[in-house]
Structure 1
């Protein structure tokens, strides 16, 4: 049962991650809007919406640019999501009451927090690579990092910035992943359980889509502020002999709020929910189908 949970979660996560990658890319670009202003650079540019950001990427670099960093997304899903989904499944199985077949919400949340934290620590190098590859297209060609793939990004970071750079922003990644996993997996299970208990729908595609959309919305609201800070800390350029733009997560949050107002922590919320909704739906609908396929193993 243990290994099966990892395999099922891994397959579903890779399919969901790749299919919603362009939305994730747009989200990252939007989260970095206004950043030069908050780090004391250029005046604040006008905010651009998700469709305009997507069109701008296609105009500037062509349609394939929407899949910049997709190799890092795949690596991240293999490391982070496979770990978190498998561990959550293991803990849920262990903690389920054998008589009722149920597990209290607080235990689901606890399982999500633990599984998310461990998964994020494992997957952080791929996360840094993904953010950098997605952000590359927004700077002039001469300043781009031009990583060829996730593996190239990781090896260049180790060579140029030391192995510690692979865990840059890891406290944020871990915090965000704990919140995502707890809010996404626990609320999916809770929504699904409630729908079935109240007899609103039968256990099938309709229930899976409804429960996963609710879970995606909850996860987006809970995690967007941490996600904005994480993106900015991971993407910052640290030049030799100069102080880094941000001393850490708290400093980044304070500078962002001071320069751009508190709602800047919800930068990219529309693409976050636009991505989190479909990602969560694809993730759980695929997961339920994969579970059906592998139920005899």
Structure 2
């Protein structure tokens, strides 16, 4: 029963991940908008250009130049297609496949095991508090397992926004992991892992627990029968809950994972808290909800495809 849960969850997660990858790519690009201003040192630490007369006014203008205007998800998507063609929307998809294979297969399988152990034998339902705890445990362990693929995916998705000379140009997820290990050390594969684990715990607890809870409520109250309509309704609601809960952690995770660390140079962010504070100071608190539209646009369809596929795979494998 345990292995079956991993297989079912893995298949559903890979299908959902690949089908919604373009939306995830747009989300990452939007989360990195305005990052240069956040990562830059404060004015007091910058070279004192104001003393270089007569160009002091020019230096002042440089410091006061407002950040570039934020671009919406449609414009970001069109820009990707214009620069890299339609295939550009699937940049880093190999990393998505590996990430779903490691992270989502683990979290879905573990959640299924805990659900089986903790459910009431009479009703076959699990109390909401136990659902949340099961989601927190399963999400945390899954994220720790899948972090290398997560770092590679973020970097591959972010690469296209850089000038050609600054791109990392990873050929595949294997190449990305290999280059990171050689150039930055094996520890770089777990960069931002605390954020990944925190985000995964929030996403899994909110997504899986709310899906199960909403589905059970719909069926118990006789609002709908156990079919596609119920699965889609519960999935969309679960996707919304997961998006609202996880977006701030997701923005910080993306920026920490994507930062360039060079020998002898202080990294842009000292850690998650530093990244959050710099982002809020430079761009305001709502910067933590950058990319929310593509996040909900992806999380909704992703959750629907995930659970609808999962329910169908369960039917196909019910005799095994």
**DSSP-derived class of the 2:266 partner:** coil
Please list, as runs of the form range in 1=range in 2, the aligned pairs for 1:67-216 lying within 5 A after superposition: 67-216=90-239
Q: What's the CA shift for 1:99?
A: 1.8
**DSSP-derived class of the 1:94 partner:** helix
What is residue 9 of structure 2 aligned with on the other side?
9
What is residue 288 of structure 1 aligned with on the other side?
311
| Among candidates 276, 280, 284, match of residue 257 of structure 1 | 280
Q: Which digits, 9 at most, give the CA deviation of each residue in 1:186-207, with x for residues without a partner?
A: 0000000000011010000000
TM-score, scaled relative to structure 2: 0.92
**DSSP-derived class of the 1:283 partner:** helix
Gaps of 5+ in 1: none
Partner Cα separation in structure 2 for residue 163 and residue 178 of structure 1:
24
What is residue 66 of structure 1 aligned with on the other side?
89
Matched, 1:54 2:104: no
The size of the alignment, in residue pairs, is: 297
Q: What's the CA shift for 1:43?
A: 4.5
Partner Cα separation in structure 2 for residue 203 and residue 139 of structure 1:
47
Partner Cα separation in structure 1 for residue 269 and residue 66 of structure 2:
18
Gaps of 5+ in 2: 42-64
Partner Cα separation in structure 2 for residue 193 and residue 284 of structure 1:
14
Partner Cα separation in structure 1 for residue 291 and residue 75 of structure 2:
12
What is residue 40 of structure 1 aligned with on the other side?
40
What is residue 50 of structure 2 aligned with on the other side?
none
Matched, 1:267 2:272: no
Q: Which digits, 9 at most, give the CA deviation of each residue in 1:81-124, with x for residues without a partner?
A: 00000000000000011122221000000000000000000000
**DSSP-derived class of the 1:28 partner:** helix
Deviant stretches of 4+, over 2 Å: none
Larger Rg: 2
Partner Cα separation in structure 2 for residue 120 and residue 253 of structure 1:
20
8 Å contact from structure 1 (residues 37, 43) kept in 2: no
Structure 1 vs Structure 2 CA RMSD: 0.8
Partner Cα separation in structure 1 for residue 123 and residue 99 of structure 2:
36
Partner Cα separation in structure 2 for residue 174 and residue 223 of structure 1:
11
8 Å contact from structure 1 (residues 73, 130) kept in 2: yes
